[in-house]
């Protein structure tokens, strides 16, 4: 898939998937036993900081299960501390950059960024702006490739001016560009909020796309997603290899 401006939007996912989102997410949240088994066998971390960014209209409460899982693996997993994610603006960007600087200085080492949906777009842009402070980026159901291919985009405006993201060609083209740090984009073809094709990055020696089968709303606690996140974060700084799924894994 090319970053060519002439590439047409695939549009949001089918309404059938959208309608089924909440029921599927509840089922995925109930997979307590699978998460406990994963916690026991997942690779332990090295204690480096991980900033976890929520999706649109969500806050740190939504990422609490993911951050708890990462803390159990010995990472210093932190929330974004900005309340509900109401979309990008100058204050949000400034506070996010300050949060990255604070965690980098506190630990005196690079941090990893994990972002869910719109949070993954924030993570990629932070890495683009501050590559000297970012170790890797993991996005989960993030439509950076085509920001219009989601049921939520038309609610988000870029200020000043209030122009919707999906109508802003400059922003759309910028978001689709590769980032200068190792990155993993997790996507699901059964995502009911974001079209999976909008989550695909150009693969390279340090950029990959990894497919799971889950809802968009359940990505932050689905065992298959958590397994990928744990595997990627366990790589040593400066080391990178493509994700290798275990036989029989979701």
For the chain, give the percent of residues with pLDDT over 70. Answer: 88
Tokens encoding 166: 């999906």
pLDDT in tens, 217-227: 999 999 999 99
Class of domain 20-233: alpha beta
- Residues 6 or more apart in contact with residue 152 via CB below 8 angstroms: 56, 57, 117, 118, 193, 194
DSSP 8-class letter at 23: H
Using 50, 70 and 90 to split pLDDT, how confident is the model at 164? low
Q: Which helix (H) or strand (E) holds 133?
A: none
Supply the pLDDT for residue 160: 45
Answer whether residue 162 shows pLDDT above 60: no
In a 13 Å sphere around the CA of 55, the CA atoms on its Cβ side amount to 20
Q: CA 66, 243, 175: angle at the middle one, nearest 5?
A: 70
Higher pLDDT, 73 or 162: 73
- At 113-133, the pLDDT tens digits run 999 999 999 999 999 999 999
Q: Which helix (H) or strand (E) holds 84?
A: none
Domains of the chain by residue range: 20-233
Task: Count CB atoms within 10 A of the CB of residue 106.
Answer: 12
At 114 the three-state DSSP class reads: strand
What confidence score (pLDDT) does residue 123 get? 98
The whole-number pLDDT of residue 9 equals: 76
91 has a pLDDT exceeding 90: yes
């Amino acid at each position: 898939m090319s970053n060519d401006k002439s590439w047409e939007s695939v549009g949001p996912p089918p309404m059938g998937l959208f309608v089924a989102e909440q029921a599927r997410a509840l089922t995925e949240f109930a997979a307590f036993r699978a998460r406990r088994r994963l916690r026991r066998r997942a690779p332990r971390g090295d204690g480096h900081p991980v900033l976890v960014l929520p999706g649109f209209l969500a806050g740190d409460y939504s990422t609490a299960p993911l951050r708890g899982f990462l803390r159990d693996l010995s990472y210093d997993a932190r929330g974004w501390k900005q309340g509900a994610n109401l979309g990008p603006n100058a204050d949000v960007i400034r506070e996010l950059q300050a949060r990255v600087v604070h965690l980098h200085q506190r630990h005196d080492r690079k941090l990893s960024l994990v972002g869910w949906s719109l949070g993954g777009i924030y993570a990629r842009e932070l890495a683009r702006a501050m590559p000297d402070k970012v170790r890797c980026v993991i996005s989960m159901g993030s439509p950076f490739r085509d920001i219009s291919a989601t049921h939520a985009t038309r609610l988000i405006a870029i200020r000043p001016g209030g122009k919707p993201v999906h109508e802003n060609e400059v922003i759309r083209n910028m978001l689709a560009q590769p980032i200068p740090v190792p990155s993993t984009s997790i996507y699901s073809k059964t995502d009911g909020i974001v079209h999976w094709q909008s989550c695909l990055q150009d693969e390279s020696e340090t950029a990959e796309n990894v497919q799971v089968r889950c809802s968009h709303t359940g990505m932050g606690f689905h065992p298959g997603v958590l397994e990928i996140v744990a595997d990627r974060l366990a790589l040593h700084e400066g080391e990178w290899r493509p994700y290798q799924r275990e036989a029989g894994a979701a």
